[in-house]
Chain A
Amino acid sequence: DAGITQSPRHKVTETGTPVTLRCHQTENHRYMYWYRQDPGHGLRLIHYSYGVKDTDKGEVSDGYSVSRSKTEDFLLTLESATSSQTSVYFCAISQGTEAFFGQGTRLTVV
């Protein structure tokens, strides 16, 4: 894989608790993305970043926030987890050409 690490890989959390997922890259790519993948919906963009401290919303950003304080790290926070946020979350990186994906984080909200 192209130097992308997502952590944790699996997490079970309770409704109403905050959760932070981490994406770490070693490629120095400019763009970083967070997607969620759900049956019937495919991959949907949550938030993306085009540089340190430069982030913006994607298609399904409600209930999520992000931060990018360093080029290599992009954090996704579920401020108060809900059952509808049970999903598989993928991080991707790109320099504007080929995109590379992490292995995903399976999040279950109970």
Chain B
Amino acid sequence: KQEVTQIPAALSVPEGENLVLNCSFTDSAIYNLQWFRQDPGKGLTSLLLIQSSQREQTSGRLNASLDKSSGRSTLYIAASQPGDSATYLCAAFSGGGADGLTFGKGTHLIIQP
């Protein structure tokens, strides 16, 4: 059974800092890994999708990396802004079954102005 862990559970940093959010998964036989953002009371917004054959994906100030062999992914946020404050979730996709899309519990990020 796939298990996904996110560290840290919460993070508060001043504006402008570069930061790294961590995601680890127990079963390396994944098809892809996806990072989401969730604002309070809202749904999940897809940020980045990394296919199993890829090492990283970039979108603006966000960069996500994937190391399947070690069961790890990181989300790098450059030059953080107060608008980046949200909960960030990673999810590992292992196929179409009940373990298909397994989520971590998220990192609650606060960027202080």
Q: Is the CB of B43 within 8 A of A1?
A: yes
Q: Is the CB of A31 within 8 A of B105?
A: no
Q: Is the CB of B89 within 8 A of A59?
A: no
Q: A33-B100, A33-B101, A48-B100 are in contact. Are A90 and B34 (CB under 8 A)?
A: no
Q: What's the Cα separation between A92 and B31 when bound, in Å?
A: 17
Residues of the B chain whose Cβ atoms lie less than 8 Å from the Cβ of A98: 32, 34, 46, 49
Residues of the A chain whose Cβ atoms lie less than 8 Å from the Cβ of B93: 94, 96-97, 99
The residue on B at minimum CB distance from A35 is B103
Q: Is the CB of B44 within 8 A of A42?
A: no
Sorting the interface of chain B by its residue count into under 10, 10 to 19, 20 to 34 or 35 or more gives: 20 to 34
Q: What's the Cα separation between A96 and B32 when bound, in Å?
A: 9
Closest Cβ–Cβ distance, residue B77 to chain A (whole Å)? 20
Closest Cβ–Cβ distance, residue A4 to chain B (whole Å)? 9
B96 within 8 A of A: yes
Q: What does DSSP make chain B's interface, helix, strand, loop or mixed?
A: strand
Q: Is the CB of A97 within 8 A of B51?
A: yes
Residues of the B chain whose Cβ atoms lie less than 8 Å from the Cβ of A101: 36, 43-46
Q: What's the Cα separation between A14 and B93 when bound, in Å?
A: 36
Sorting the interface of chain A by its residue count into under 10, 10 to 19, 20 to 34 or 35 or more gives: 20 to 34
Q: What's the Cα separation between A90 and B36 when bound, in Å?
A: 14
B83 within 8 A of A: no
Q: What's the Cα separation between A31 and B104 when bound, in Å?
A: 20
A104 contact from B31, B42, B100, B102, Cβ within 8 A = B42
Q: What's the Cα separation between A58 and B102 when bound, in Å?
A: 11
Q: Is the CB of A56 within 8 A of B91?
A: no
Question: Considering the complex of A and B, which 10 residue pairs feature the smallest CB-CB distances, nearest first?
Answer: A42-B105, A101-B44, A103-B43, A43-B103, A98-B49, A101-B43, A50-B96, A58-B98, A104-B43, A42-B103
